[in-house]
Amino acid sequence: MKIKNPYLLVIGLLVFIAGSDLFALDIYVLRHAQTMANWKREYTDEYQRTFSPWGQDQVDGVADKLEPYSFDVIIVSPAWRTHHTILPYLARHNRTAEIWPEVEECCWDRRGFIDIQELPRGPRIEIDEELQEFFTFRDEEAVYRFGADTPEAGDYQIGLAVDLIRERFLGTDKTILIVGHTHAGARIIQGLLDDPPPRLFLHNATLSHVALDDDGRFRLHMLNDEPVEESTP
């Protein structure tokens, strides 16, 4: 993937040279719980904002699933289903999550990233009043959704997310949680990996883990709650 900010290359080089646990960056991706839209395959606004019975059980178990982890930053997409999936964990630990419009579902499963140079702005993001104590915007630019409506625009949006992750967190030992979606979450993982698999699918309410190893390369260590063993030549 083309990195839009050359400064990120310098950071990556420093991380590679350091080659120590000082830069043990961990990124976890949690897909939202199953919605009625996922269950019924009917993607209406109402169904996208309603959990299926199984999805509600998943929501009820999210806080316990995440209890073994300690996250420095929690990132969520603007979608209702991501907010309400992570809400029990935020409430239990009195935490807040940052809204990033770049990680919202928008794209399709493609191998390469397409640079289209611009992306239209979508509508302003509204946070339900009862949730405002748990969710905040990353910055003033993050209060609007993107208007990605083609595969090329979706790829560009996810490219922005990957660039932001690298710019903000490379060279740190942070542990980051991204609460997102199946396609967008998989594309973020692919964008971070040096040698990404051509296809990834994230299951509802499962956790995947990408870590920056000592050699300065991101590797996939867990997919859908299951450890990933590195293949040998």
pLDDT in tens, the chain (233 residues): 444 454 444 444 444 444 444 458 999 999 999 999 999 988 888 999 999 999 999 999 999 999 999 999 999 999 999 999 999 999 999 999 999 999 999 866 565 566 666 788 899 999 989 999 999 999 998 999 998 888 888 888 999 999 999 999 999 999 999 999 999 999 999 999 988 888 899 999 999 999 998 888 999 999 999 999 865 44
Q: Which amino acid is at 99?
A: I
* pLDDT at site 156: 87
Nearest-angstrom CA–CA distance, 92 and 146: 31
* pLDDT at site 124: 95
Nearest-angstrom CA–CA distance, 188 and 208: 11
- Tell me the DSSP string of 86-122: HHHHHHHHT--EEE-GGGSS-----SS----S---EE
Residue 186: its H or E element: helix 182-192
* pLDDT at site 16: 43
Nearest-angstrom CA–CA distance, 47 and 225: 26
Q: Closest by alpha carbon to 224, among 192, 189, 195?
A: 189
The tokens describing 219, both together, are: 């590797």
Q: How far is CA 46 from CA 40, 52, 101, in A?
A: 12, 12, 20
What kind of fold does domain 7-212 have according to CATH? Rossmann fold (3.40.50)
* pLDDT at site 199: 86
**Domain map of the chain by residue range?**
7-212
* pLDDT at site 114: 62
Q: Which residues of 151-179 are buried (b: 16+ CB within 10 A; e: fewer)?
A: ebbbbbbbbbbbbbbbeebbbbebbbbbb
* pLDDT at site 15: 40
The tokens describing 226, both together, are: 């299951």
* pLDDT at site 116: 65
Please state, as a whole number, how many other Cβ atoms lie within 10 Å of the Cβ of residue 72.
12
Nearest-angstrom CA–CA distance, 218 and 233: 18
